[in-house]
Structure 1
Amino acid sequence: MKSDPQWHKSTYSASQGSCVEVAEGETILVRDTQNRQQGHIEYSSDAWTSFLRDVKSGLL
């Protein structure tokens, strides 16, 4: 049986209320805190790691 995702505010979210929530597991789930009803985007661990690396390096 799959458990419900454990969502937490991303450490990369802005402090002005523009928050992104993340649930980490076999895949990484990402959703807009203010629009949870719209669902989430799912990333593989490799894709999420690559995305964060590019953000940190200023490529995105």
Structure 2
Amino acid sequence: MSETPNWFKSSYSSNGGACVEVATNLLPSHGTIPVRDSKHRAGSVLELRAAAFSTFVTGVKNGQFETL
């Protein structure tokens, strides 16, 4: 990525340790939304297309993912 991602966590995050950070500022120029683990900021980054990210967010809101 040549541009600097502006990482942020959701305002709904309770800082329970199971958070992701996203950088939506890269969507217009890259067509993707980078996602990373907030606990491992130097780790891997997933680059999701907008449709995939939207599907993921909808799944989270609908409780489709198991919580640990």
Match of residue 44, structure 2, among 14, 39, 51: 39
Contact 1:8-1:22 within 8 A present in 2 as well? yes
* Aligned length, in residue pairs: 59
Q: Matches of 2:58 and 2:42 in 1, distance apart? A: 28
Q: Matches of 2:38 and 2:64 in 1, distance apart? A: 25
Return the structure number with greater strand share.
1
> Under a length normalisation based on structure 1, what TM-score does the superposition of the two structures give?
0.75
Runs of 5+ consecutive residues of structure 1 not aligned to the other structure = none
- Computed over aligned residues only, the root mean square deviation of the Cα atoms, in angstroms, reads 1.8
> Under a length normalisation based on structure 2, what TM-score does the superposition of the two structures give?
0.68
Q: Matches of 1:34 and 1:59 in 2, distance apart? A: 23
- % identical equivalent positions: 41
* Residues 1-60 of structure 1 mapped to structure 2, 5 A cutoff: 2-11=2-11, 13-24=13-24, 25=27, 26-60=31-65
- SS at 1:36's partner residue? coil
